[in-house]
Amino acid sequence: MSKHIIPHNYHVSKTDRVASNKHNSFLIWFTGLSGSGKSTIANLVERNLFQKGIKTYSLDGDNIRKGINNDLSFSPEDRTENIRRIAEVANLMVDAGLVVLAAFVSPYKKDRENIRTIVKDVNFVEIYINTSIEECERRDVKGLYKKARAGEIKNMTGISAPYEAPDNPNIEIKTENESIEDAVKRIVDYITPKLELKNE
């Protein structure tokens, strides 16, 4: 090492940040079809945590695909790059001491495995919002399925592009059988012990 490169002795570490926040930081990842309920459930989980004083931040299509990833389409390659960049951004936020909630279709298993590698297994909670394509199409929250059926949208997940369901998610929510409130409670109950700092 050159004598001109002085090590940073006063670096603020992740350990310092989580100690200051008084809770652990990690990434809660919601995957599922468009209209499955990812954003609805993630937003309510975030509100619940935020009201308890947890430092949180949500990443979703609105703040990512309109910003840092506005150069990406819905081709398989671009979805892979979309998820990789989101995982890298989330990793920085976890390092900054935040509980990050990310809601993305993320249809490919290999891309979700890559998130696990980027943020490290212990920092990753995978939640599968399992709603059938028939129900998502019935809800058609944004009118996208109608457009996909009319051939106006190509590569629509569940219609003309695949969705690879997780084999072993930390939590699976079947929204056709479970209310929004019950799903939020189940997720918050799962997360709460993970927030606790050990060796205090």
Ligand X SMILES: Nc1ncnc2c1ncn2[C@@H]1O[C@H](COP(=O)(O)OP(=O)(O)O)[C@@H](O)[C@H]1O
Ligand Y SMILES: Nc1ncnc2c1ncn2[C@@H]1O[C@H](COP(=O)(O)OS(=O)(=O)O)[C@@H](OP(=O)(O)O)[C@H]1O
Q: What are 101's strand-pairing partners?
A: 28, 58
61/186 with CB nearer ligand Y: 61
36 is in an annotated binding site: yes
Site residues for ligand Y per CB under 6 A? 34-35, 38-39, 61, 65, 74, 79, 82-83, 104-107, 142, 144, 153, 155-157
Catalytic residue among 20, 106, 132, 160: 106
45/93 with CB nearer ligand X: 45
In whole angstroms, the minimum distance from the beta carbon of 162 to ligand X comes to 17
- Residue 41 contact partner, candidates ligand X, ligand Y, none, CB within 5 to 8 A by sort of partner: ligand X
Q: From start to end of the chain, where are the E strands?
A: 27-31, 56-60, 99-103, 124-130, 171-174
Regarding 185 and contact with ligand X (CB under 6 A), the answer is no
Task: Give me the phi and psi of 198, to 5 degrees please.
Answer: -85, 165
65/116 with CB nearer ligand Y: 65
53 is in an annotated binding site: no
The sheet with strand 99-103 has its strands ordered as 56-60, 99-103, 27-31, 124-130, 171-174
58 is in an annotated binding site: no
DSSP 120-165: -GGGEEEEEEE--HHHHHHH-TTSHHHHHHTTSSSS-BTTTB----
The reply to whether 106 belongs to the active site is yes
- In contact, 44 and 76? CB cutoff 8 Å: no
- Residue 194 contact partner, candidates ligand X, ligand Y, none, CB within 5 to 8 A by sort of partner: none
- Residue 183 contact partner, candidates ligand X, ligand Y, none, CB within 5 to 8 A by sort of partner: ligand X
- In contact, 59 and 29? CB cutoff 8 Å: no
Which of 19, 92, 122, 180 is in the footprint of ligand X by CB under 6 A?
A: 180
Among residues 184, 181, 188, 178, which one has the least CA distance to residue 135? Answer: 178
39 is in an annotated binding site: yes
Neighbours of 90 (CB within 10 A): 25
- Residue 139 contact partner, candidates ligand Y, ligand X, none, CB within 5 to 8 A by sort of partner: ligand X
* Catalytic (active-site) positions: 106
Contact set with ligand X (CB under 6 A): 32, 34-41, 103, 139, 141, 175, 178-180, 183
